[in-house]
Amino acid sequence: MAGRRAVVLGRRRAATAARSPSQRPPGPMRDFLIDTDTASDDAVAILMALSAPDVRVLGLTTVAGNVGVEQATRNALLTAEFAGVEVPVYVGAAAPLLRVHGDAHWFHGRDGLGDRGYAPPRRAPEREHAVDAILRLADRAPGLTLVTLGPLTNVALALARDPGLAKKIGRCVVMGGAPCCEGNVTPAAEYNIWVDPEAARIVFRSGLPIEMVGWHVSRGASVLSEAEIADIVALGTAKARFAIDCNARAKQAYHVQTGETGLSLADPTAMAVALDRTVGLSWSRHVVEIECASELTRGMTVVDRLNVAADDNNRQTWRAALAGGAKADVCWTFDGACFKAMLKRALST
């Protein structure tokens, strides 16, 4: 039944998504808080949020992931400068909860932005720690949208301080996981979850209203072709040039990784969902458990798509995952054409 519900839901959303998300009618301002290990695709996602006329970005919290947390912080500040927006940036966790930090320099470059020699940002980060900022801003703006673009260390630490945080968040859009297919760091796992699986387990069990946008949606029709890349460059804006230039190395690395050509932008697909959920065409709701014990499948997002956990024969195996009753909305298919329209619009000014 879960599969049928997902298909029906997808058809309904597909009808809605026939209009471009760039045509989203104006509404009240929405508060976003973005947690990021800022590298090249994070930067594009942040530009999208900072360009949205109905979104108020309350802050960027940084975490170790693609690059170390200090570099991620510099990149977040620099991205805000390219957007022409002053947004507070808060430095967060410098390492996963229990693991040694494994970066993604080979993919994004040592500086996370393709090693193109960008000048240092003019602004400095805030003195407040990212975890403190998450808790404070959730109190100040209950119902805010939390968008996570990196490992979930900061969010797990915030939940450890205040488990009630989960009820203060309106939406929690997570870029992470490989719910239906291979991962991008191992055959079993996507990078953000693999880096800190213990943090991811805490977050997915917390009761946060998670909308999981896996790596798979940034492939296929979501990948920018050479012609589409040229169209973005032709916009002639500083944001457009930065978005393409800082991802030049990532574009090459994606080809090495997958054998596929074009520019795949994982974090911007999640930001597109945060901005307009209808860009996700089919969804279903499931228990999602994170593998932490096995090195072979470390960070695997185990999605109970057939609801086997509800079977009494399996409850003992799933007892820890079921204890809190938490489930996540999982995005299965995605409207690449609408995503590209959103991206182009964000970079056009």
Per-residue pLDDT at 271: 98
C-alpha to C-alpha distance for 197 and 170, rounded to whole angstroms: 24
Mapped onto helix, strand or coil, the DSSP state of residue 349 is coil
What pLDDT is attached to residue 8? 38
In the beta sheet, which residues pair with residue 284?
330
In this predicted structure, what is the pLDDT of residue 10?
45
Its pTM surpasses 0.85: yes
Outline where DSSP puts E strands in the chain: 30-36, 55-62, 89-91, 144-148, 169-175, 210-213, 280-286, 288-290, 301-303, 328-334
The size of the chain, in residues, is 349
CA–CA distance from 310 to each of 16, 180, 315, 330 (Å)? 32, 20, 7, 18
Q: List, for residues 90-99, the tens digit of each pLDDT value.
A: 999 999 999 9
Q: Which of 89, 103, 94, 163 is nearest to 133 (CA)?
A: 89
- Mapped onto helix, strand or coil, the DSSP state of residue 6 is helix
Here the CATH number for the domain that contains residue 109 is: 3.90.245.10
Give the pLDDT score at 14: 40
The pLDDT value recorded for residue 18 is 41
DSSP string, 59-119: EEEE-SSSS-HHHHHHHHHHHHHHHT----EEE--SS-SSSPP---HHHH-TTSS-S--PP
Tokens 């979501």, residue? 222
Sign of the dihedral through C-alpha 305, 306, 307, 313: negative
Give me the pLDDT at residue 320, please: 83
Angle between helices 248-258 and 40-51 (to 10 degrees): 120
Are 273 and 53 contacting, i.e. CB atoms less than 8 angstroms apart? no
Q: Look up residue 257 and give its DSSP letter.
A: H
Question: What is the total count of domains within the chain?
Answer: 1
Q: Report how far residue 263's alpha carbon sits from residue 64's, in angstroms, rounded to the nearest whole number.
A: 24
Mean pLDDT, contiguous 10-residue spans, the chain (349 residues): 43 42 69 98 98 98 98 98 97 98 96 97 98 98 98 98 98 96 94 98 98 97 97 98 98 95 97 98 97 96 92 84 90 98 97
> What is the predicted pLDDT for the residue at 179?
94
pLDDT value at residue 13:
43
Domain range for 104:
2-347
Tokens 């991802």 correspond to 247
